[in-house]
Amino acid sequence: QKEVEQNSGPLSVPEGAIASLNCTYSDRGSQSFFWYRQYSGKSPELIMFIYSNGDKEDGRFTAQLNKASQYVSLLIRDSQPSDSATYLCAVANAGNMLTFGGGTRLMVKP
């Protein structure tokens, strides 16, 4: 069974700090990796995706992928209270079926 694991948190960081969110996956055939943000009571929204090993930056967000270690991470620089949410890691396999981790709850304290 394909698994995606995340620490459920909460991860608490002060405003302005870097938040580091981690995710591991079990299926070596996984091809695409996504980070979704989900506010309480809302639907997931895509914030980053990454396909290749290395780093990908988009504004305050950086996704990192290490396929050899089966590890994906998301860094949020200059964290803001509005970043407080649950972050879901998702892995796509053939047919665009997503397998999600349980999510990490991030709390950014002013």
Find all residues with CB under 8 Å of 60, minimum gap 6, and list them: 76, 77, 78
The whole-angstrom separation of Cα 71 and Cα 26 is 9
Confirm or reject binding of residue 61 to other proteins (CB under 8 A): no
Considering the complex, what minimum distance in angstroms separates the CB of residue 60 from other proteins?
20
Stretch that binds other proteins, among 10-18, 55-63, 69-77, 85-93 (CB under 8 A): 85-93
Q: Are 20 and 71 in contact (CB under 8 A)?
A: no
Q: Please give the DSSP secondary-structure letter assigned to residue 29.
A: T
Confirm or reject binding of residue 44 to other proteins (CB under 8 A): yes
Q: Are 37 and 108 in contact (CB under 8 A)?
A: no
Confirm or reject binding of residue 21 to other proteins (CB under 8 A): no
Confirm or reject binding of residue 12 to other proteins (CB under 8 A): no
Confirm or reject binding of residue 101 to other proteins (CB under 8 A): yes
Q: Which residues bind other proteins (CB under 8 A)?
A: 4, 6, 8, 31-32, 42-46, 49, 51, 88, 90, 92-103
